[in-house]
Amino acid sequence: MTGLDTAFHAAGAAAWGGVAYGALTPHMSPEAQAKAENLCPGARTVLIAAFPYYAGDRPGNLSLYARGEDYHRVLLRRLEPVCAALRLAYPAHRFLPGADNSPLPEREAARLAGVGIAGRHGLLILPPYGSWVFLGSILTTARLPLSKRPAAPRCEDCGRCRAACPTGALNGDGFAAERCLSHLTQKKGMLAPEEDQLLALHPCVWGCDSCQRACPHNAGCRLSPLPEFREDLVCRLEAGDLEGLTNRTFRERWGTRAFAWRGPAVLRRNLALQNPQVYSEDA
Q: Residue 226 and residue 6: Cα distance in Å, rounded?
A: 17
Q: Residue 33 and residue 29: Cα distance in Å, rounded?
A: 6
Task: Quote the pTM value.
Answer: 0.93
Query: Are the beta carbons of 98 and 139 closer than 8 angstroms?
Result: yes
Active-site positions read 100
Q: Where are the domains of the chain?
A: 1-235
Q: Residue 24 and residue 154: Cα distance in Å, rounded?
A: 16
- What is the predicted pLDDT for the residue at 283? 43
Which residues contact residue 104 at a Cβ distance below 8 angstroms, ignoring those fewer than 6 apart?
24, 28, 32, 36, 46, 98, 137, 139
Which DSSP category does 139 fall into? E
High-pLDDT (> 90) share of the chain, %: 82
- What is the predicted pLDDT for the residue at 277? 65
> Which residues of the chain, if any, have pLDDT below 70?
1-2, 173, 277-283
Q: What does 183-243 look like in DSSP terms, one character per residue? A: HHHH--SPPPHHHHHHHHT-S-SB---HHHHH-GGGTTPPPP--HHHHSS------GGGTT
- What is the predicted pLDDT for the residue at 130? 96
